[in-house]
Structure 1
Amino acid sequence: MSAEMEPPPPPNAASLREAALAHVARFATTEQGLQQALVRRVRRWGVRAERAGAETTEIEGQLQALLPAIDEIVRDMVRLGALNDHAFAQSRSRGLTRSGRSRRAVTAHLMQRGVEHETLSEALDEALGERHDAAAYENELGAALVLARKRRLGPFRRPDAPEPDLAAHQKALAAFARAGFGRDIAEQALAFDPEEAEERVLMLKSS
């Protein structure tokens, strides 16, 4: 094999730690998110190594050998305070709510990002209010109004649009349901006065 075709050297704990520091400096992420990013980095090395002639078993062996180091790097980032799933969940839940996501959709998003159930539940209660209390209700209604404005529904329908008939109303309710909003929230959002609806949206986005 020529020198040009020699497989590149695999990452090591030191280079992966540097990559982790760079990643958390650039991106808001979770423990799972960082772990996946570092595994992808090793797999990208594996693709280059395979193209240079390395055996698949050798590449997979390197990955398996580095997994404990990756886990330790993630724990180290937590100890340093560079990773905090609770703070991530709080911040992301507020941002997603302001963008028109229901609590159910926010929950699904954070679960997909690897936030554990207990951490997720506590963060949502602190950021959006405990389920079924007044703060949670106001945040959910505000998010529904943001969605209504995006979709030009209810109080945000175009001035020249006809008054919605039963079919149009059911279609609007279906849009809210697909976004994870309950029927009562959807009905209230659709029935809002336009000026008050706009005020509610502005209040949510500035909170």
Structure 2
Amino acid sequence: MVRCLDLIVGAVIFIIVLPIMLMIAVAIRISSPGPVFFVQKRLSQGGRTFPCFKFRTMVHNAEEVLREALSNDARMKAEWENHFKLKSDPRITPLGRFLRTTSLDELPQIINVLKGEMSLVGPRARPLYEGEGQEDNSLFQLGLTVKPGMTGLWQVSGRSKLNFTQRIELEAWYVQNRSLRLDLMILLKTAVVVIKGDGAY
């Protein structure tokens, strides 16, 4: 049932957003050097990995910029270690900031949904570094028992305002209580959150 929902709704969404994606791709190429897409290995069901697609929102030498910023700013380093996110991230381009605030950077993940690597709704597709040292964290591991989603419970419950621990607690609750009704509710709430731009950076 979930896979059918992903395929049907995912195909409709892809057709609707394709013109928007093409315009964003052109804007990225014009605004800063580097590729249109950012492809990163993410953790999936069972601890497997897959290439997750997003529009590039950062400068092309993002990792170098991050290392330098964290080494020079203790407060920023503490924020990164607590959230794995930075509110004033020096890596993000001006266009990238807009794409993140509106969540348009995540539109290419619809390709991952159609390929069967993600679901429309599920836990966050976590970067590999977030899984380091989490082997004995039962809540984190519970989130890896289902496919990651384009959206999920944490995205409609505070998004980047939540710290790492709060996010994995919400995702563990989702896995234990997931249902078609809950997924549909999250999809509807996602539309509201995206329009408001609440908690995104």
Shorter-chain TM range is: under 0.3
Q: Which has the higher helix share?
A: 1
Higher relative contact order (CA 8 A, sep 6+): 2
Larger Rg over CA atoms: 1
